[in-house]
């Protein structure tokens, strides 16, 4: 588990939105906009209120799954699509360059749709959200 601290800026039911300062993992990633803070949604089982500083935990496996889906999956899909496109192009007598590009492009775009589906599924799954473990102030 990775433990972080942040400031509660909004509470809706059992979910709190927390403003978190960027740390070394975030600054080296660069996937988020260049803001100094990011906003996350966390399960608020401890009853934190707006304006309180809290400590929350995030499962590292969720971070790794997300990073794989966003960064590695499109590259892998494009490679597999290019290989399949070339194979199909050879068997059907199409120009191999265009078939390779088309196959790679199609599976790359499908992987982007898969990422969007994955993102929506993760957003609905409460077990993947960070959990507030304590109120600091």
Q: Does residue 24 register a pLDDT over 60?
A: no
Q: pLDDT tens, 31-87?
A: 555 556 788 889 998 999 999 999 998 877 777 888 888 999 999 999 999 999 999
Share above pLDDT 90 across residues of the chain, in percent, rounded to a whole number: 52
pLDDT at 126: 74
If you average pLDDT over residues 101-125, what whole number do you get? 92
Whole-number Å distance between alpha carbons of 11 and 78: 41
Q: What is the pTM of this model?
A: 0.64
Helix axes 73-92, 96-124, angle to 10 degrees: 140
Tokens 């898969």, residue?
A: 114
Any idea what the Cα angle at residue 46 is, between residues 54 and 1, rounded to 5°? 60
pLDDT at 30 over 90: no
Residue 92 clears pLDDT 80, i.e. is over it: yes
What average pLDDT score do residues 83-96 get?
Answer: 95
For residues 80 and 14, the model is more confident at 80
Cα-based distances in Å from 68 to 16, 31, 44, 65: 26, 13, 27, 5
Residue 21: which of 36, 4, 33, 3 has the closest Cα? 36
Residue with the bigger pLDDT between 24 and 52: it is 52
Element (H, E) at 25: helix 24-29
More confident residue, 115 or 126: 115
Helix (H, G, I), strand (E, B) or coil at 22: coil
* Burial tier of 103 (Cβ tally within 10 Å: 0-12, 13-18, 19+): buried
**Continuous H helices in 69-132:** 73-92, 96-124
């Amino acid at each position: 588990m990775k433990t972080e601290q942040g400031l509660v800026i909004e509470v809706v039911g059992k979910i709190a939105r927390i403003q978190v300062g960027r740390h070394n993992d975030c600054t080296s990633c660069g996937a988020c906009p260049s803001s100094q803070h990011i906003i996350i949604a966390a399960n608020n089982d401890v009853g934190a209120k707006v304006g309180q500083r809290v400590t929350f935990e995030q499962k590292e496996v969720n971070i790794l799954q997300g990073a794989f889906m966003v960064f590695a999956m499109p590259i892998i899909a494009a490679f597999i699509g290019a290989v399949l496109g070339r194979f199909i192009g050879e068997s059907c007598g199409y120009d191999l360059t265009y078939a390779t590009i088309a196959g790679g492009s199609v599976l790359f775009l499908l992987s982007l749709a898969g990422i969007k589906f994955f993102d929506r599924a993760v957003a609905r799954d409460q077990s993947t959200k960070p959990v507030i473990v304590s109120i600091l102030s």
